[in-house]
A and B are shown apart, each in its own frame.
Chain A
Amino acid sequence: MINVIWALMAIIGIVYAMINGTMEEVNKALFEGADEAVTLVISLTSVLVFWLGMMRIAEKAGILRGLSTLFKPVVKKVFPEIPDNHPAMGYILANFSANLFGLGNAATPMGIKAMEEMKKLSGSEKASNSMITFLVINTSSITIVPTTVIAIRMEYGSQAPTEIVSSTLVATLVTTISAILVDRLLRRRREKMRH
């Protein structure tokens, strides 16, 4: 699916530019988009190296294992396929905590590690049930304090920049829970089709 979507985005854009006369903008955007990606990866590099180094220490020191024992009852329900005390659990929890506290750039490296561990579990190139659940929770992002949005609101002279914290929290909670439910529904359908 992603192959088709990717190709279609570019094709639709280029064909539309032919009709619309925006070919010049498209030419410029081609290389701007590529440049942006390189810049993004460079800024990600520092974050990845630092946090994966720290996380490796946390793993070796047994902190991740402690974290997963602490939250096992809750997480076990959401990820029934991950065995007890598997390192994937620790990384999943580290990723959630980083997201929760708004440490977006620490969340990404831990999320990637979690995916890696889940791949070891499934041993295939196909996304496993746990991976899909993990990604869905990440895309609906539980954040307690949306720092970027608050900063923008302050910049434009809001009387109460933080008043959206409560509405964001309610929205994100409802979204995450419904996303988990939709995921469960589709998972059940997948399993039925296999039988």
Chain B
Amino acid sequence: MISIWLVPCIICFVLMVAVVKRVPAYEVFVEGGKEGLKMAVSLLPFLLGMMVAISILRSSGALDAFIELIKPILSSLGFPAELAPLALIRPISGTAALSVTSEMIQLYGPDSFLGRLASTMQGSTDTTLYILTVYFGAVGIKKMGDALKVGLIADLIGIIVSVIVVSWMFL
């Protein structure tokens, strides 16, 4: 409910300050907007390349096969194997993760342990690969350094912490 008010209020506040400080609001808006358009165009090849590769991997069945392969390893570590697909897809593809979360919630019920865990996992991390693609792509960074490594480590921590927190809060 807050979010319905939030955006219009932010816009109103920014414009009010601009008028008071005599900033040529419309001209400046258009100037900034042009930059946004350029950014969107330069993003397309990065996103397209990434999304095609991901959809090849998913549609071939390779990703599912890999998940089946590591399920027993995960359950031996105490991680609920049912949620292995979500844990693996979350850093790779946002749309895929969202559909997997919906499936899990539908299958196990939103108020079950697995449903709550899926909800928490979905909400507590973002799609690392997408963020790296968009942010580095838009400004033309070629060498990512440790960014991917740290991002993936953070995802792993996020998954482990979600399991611990949900077990501790709801069991």
Contact = CB atoms under 8 A, between A and B. Distances in A.
Given A62-B21, A126-B145, A167-B169, A41 B125 contact: no
B141 A179 contact: no
A163 to B, nearest CB: 7
Interface residues of A, number: 98
A78 to B, nearest CB: 14
Nearest to B17: A61
Given A135-B135, A139-B131, A179-B157, A53 B36 contact: yes
Contacts of A161: 110
Contacts of A62: 17, 21
B19 to A, nearest CB: 9
A116 B109 contact: no
Interface string B95-109: 100100110011001
A38 B54 CA distance: 15
Given A125-B142, A167-B165, A182-B150, A48 B157 contact: no
Contact of A22 (B50, B51, B61): B61
Contact of A141 (B2, B55, B124, B134): B124
Interface string B28-72: 111111111101100110011111111111111110010000000
B32 A37 contact: no
Per DSSP, chain B at the interface is helix
Contact of A57 (B29, B149, B155, B169): B29
Interface in A19-77: 20, 22, 25-26, 28-30, 32-34, 36-38, 40-41, 44-45, 48-58, 60-63
B158 A171 contact: yes
| Highest count of chain B CB atoms <10 Å: which of A2, A44, A57, A155 | A57
B143 A127 contact: yes
Question: What are the 10 tightest A-B residue pairs by CB atom distance, in nearest-first order?
Answer: A56-B32, A33-B55, A146-B123, A158-B110, A29-B59, A48-B36, A179-B154, A13-B56, A52-B36, A16-B62
Interface of A: 1-2, 5-6, 9-10, 12-14, 16-17, 20, 22, 25-26, 28-30, 32-34, 36-38, 40-41, 44-45, 48-58, 60-63, 101-103, 106, 108-109, 111-112, 115-116, 119, 125-127, 131-132, 135-136, 138-141, 143, 145-149, 152-153, 155-161, 163-164, 166-168, 170-172, 174-176, 178-179, 182-183, 186-187, 190
Interface of B: 2-3, 6-7, 10-11, 13-15, 17-18, 21, 23, 25, 28-37, 39-40, 43-44, 47-62, 65, 91, 95, 98, 101-102, 105-106, 109-111, 115-116, 119-128, 131-132, 134-136, 138-151, 153-155, 157-158, 161-162, 165-166, 169-170
Given A111-B134, A168-B123, 7 more contacts: A17-B60, A28-B59, A41-B40, A50-B36, A51-B36, A53-B31, A57-B14
